Amino acid sequence: MKILVSGFEPFGGSRVNPTEQLIFDLQSLSFSGVEIRTVLLPVVFDECARLLIEEIRSFQPDAVLACGVAGGRADITPERIAINMKHIAEDAPYPDNAGVRPHEQPIEEDGQDGLFTTLPVSRMVKTMREAGIPASISYSAGTYICNNTMYVLLNEIKKTANAMLGGFIHFPASPEMAAAKPGMPSMSQESMLRGLKVMIEVTIEELRALEHHPKRQVGSCSM
């Protein structure tokens, strides 16, 4: 069994991105019978998704957990849906890391308006809460890089009729990020890593259940 986990480089003037640290820390963990690969993505529209898809086609994982940071959120939030739009408001403080600032552009010209995660997000959230980790399902991944990455990932699964599980998870700001913006919620890297570990374990359980029940609808427990 193989699982791919992605994170992002810093952006928006910040020197850190907790998801970059997460994929580094993840290398110290092991999961019986599972190969974990990590990849760091650029905060650049389309390039982020292109590199993730390249890694998927090379590694052929059974599941992909793409991770990003959502400053302002207080808990870990697996995303339910990605929309077919890339957009940065004209008054937004920063573009992507390449200086690109798209305005209401489709990610895929002929793509569906929205695509749902195939990760077991409801059970992820339930299990994290039981472990004392703040978590909730999010119904908006925004229109920035994270949504861009999630949409292309799910569209790849749809186009290839792949049984792979895939989706996106937002994490709160780290204490270091929040220190520069008084009042911003944050979560320790230790708690975020615990949450990621729980979500990987839940994903492994779902994959094993699918192995025993191949006719079960992929992602059925997400809805």
Q: For the segment 58-74, what is each residue's pLDDT rounded down to a tens digit?
A: 999 999 999 999 989 99
User: Is 194's pLDDT higher than 80?
Assistant: yes
Q: Which two tokens stand for residue 122?
A: 């409801």
User: Is 36's pLDDT higher than 50?
Assistant: yes
pLDDT at 48: 95
pLDDT at 219: 40
pLDDT at 214: 56
Which percentage of the chain shows pLDDT scores above 70? 95
The domain ranges of the chain are 2-222
CATH of 2-222, one of 2.50.20.10, 1.25.40.10, 3.40.630.20, 2.40.50.140: 3.40.630.20
For residues 149 and 72, what is the distance between their CA atoms, to the nearest angstrom?
Answer: 20
Q: Which two tokens stand for residue 66?
A: 């793409």
Check residue 27 and give left, alpha or beta (phi > 0: left; psi -120 to 50: alpha).
alpha
Q: For the segment 85-121, what is each residue's pLDDT rounded down to a tens digit?
A: 999 988 888 899 999 999 999 999 999 999 999 999 9
Phi, psi of 149 (to 5 degrees): -65, -45
Q: Which amino acid is at 147?
A: N
Handedness of CA 105, 113, 93, 146 (dihedral sign): negative
Which DSSP letter does residue 182 get?
A: T
pLDDT at 89: 86
Q: Which whole-number Å values give the CA distances from 156 to 68, 151, 162, in the listed order?
A: 19, 9, 8
pLDDT at 215: 53
Q: Tell me which of 20, 48, 55, 79 is the catalytic residue.
A: 79
Give how far the C-alpha of residue 191 lies from the chain's centroid of Cα atoms, to the nearest Å: 17
Q: For the segment 138-185, what is each residue's pLDDT rounded down to a tens digit?
A: 999 999 999 999 999 999 999 887 789 999 999 999 998 888 788 889
Q: Tell me which of 20, 55, 67, 146 is the catalytic residue.
A: 146
Is the separation of the CB atoms in 169 and 65 below 8 Å? yes
User: Is 221's pLDDT higher than 70?
Assistant: no
Determine whether 221 is an active site residue: no
Determine whether 79 is an active site residue: yes
User: Is 25's pLDDT higher than 50?
Assistant: yes
Dihedral of CA atoms 48, 223, 36, 188 in degrees, nearest 10, equals 80
Burial of 161 (0-12, 13-18, 19+ CB in 10 A): exposed
Give how far the C-alpha of residue 205 lies from the chain's centroid of Cα atoms, to the nearest Å: 19
pLDDT at 68: 96
Determine whether 213 is an active site residue: no
Q: Which amino acid is at 207?
A: L
Contacts of 83 (CB under 8 A, 6+ apart): 113, 114, 141, 143, 147, 151
Q: Tell me which of 20, 55, 67, 170 is the catalytic residue.
A: 170
